[in-house]
Amino acid sequence: MEVIFIKDLKNQGKKGQIKKVKDGYAQNYLIKNGYAIIKNKENLAKLNNEMKKKEQEAEIKRKDALAQKTKLEKEVLEFKVRTGTGDKVFGSISVKQIKEALEKKSYKIEKSMIKISTPISSLGFHNVEIELYSDVYATIKVHVIK
């Protein structure tokens, strides 16, 4: 019997996957517990519609991310820091500080989206990458001043 998985099931199948399984396993476990449905024309049509909707939503999110990228890359975030002798910066600029500065400029960015490769602990300009979508990255400039 062929079934369409409607939920992920570890080591068996992922949501949307079509798989051939034994009749008893399908009836007594997968379908009964809501992990899968029988493969037929109606259910395949539903699956195709869901997949198309997901693709359209993903494309919309990607376009929004690209639009946000162009706006973000024009931004320069300035941070005033205390320095010691020889212009040595006390501490470093954190992801939280960058997130808060972006929120003040009305951007909705999560901390997990901000990628800092090396700690920002010196004066001058630094590049920070922000992952807006799975394949869309924006690079903003962070200016650290006295």
Is a pLDDT exceeding 90 seen at residue 85? no
Measured CA distances, 84 to 48, 89, 97, 120 (Å): 62, 6, 21, 16
Residue pLDDT, tens place only, 43-79: 999 989 989 999 999 999 999 999 999 999 998 999 9
Domain map (residue ranges) of the chain: 2-60, 67-145
> 67-145: same fold as 2-60?
no
Q: How confident is the model at residue 88 (pLDDT cuts 50, 70, 90)?
A: confident
pTM: 0.70
CATH of domain 67-145: 3.10.430.100
Instruction: Report domain 2-60's class.
Output: alpha beta
Q: Which pLDDT belongs to residue 4? A: 93
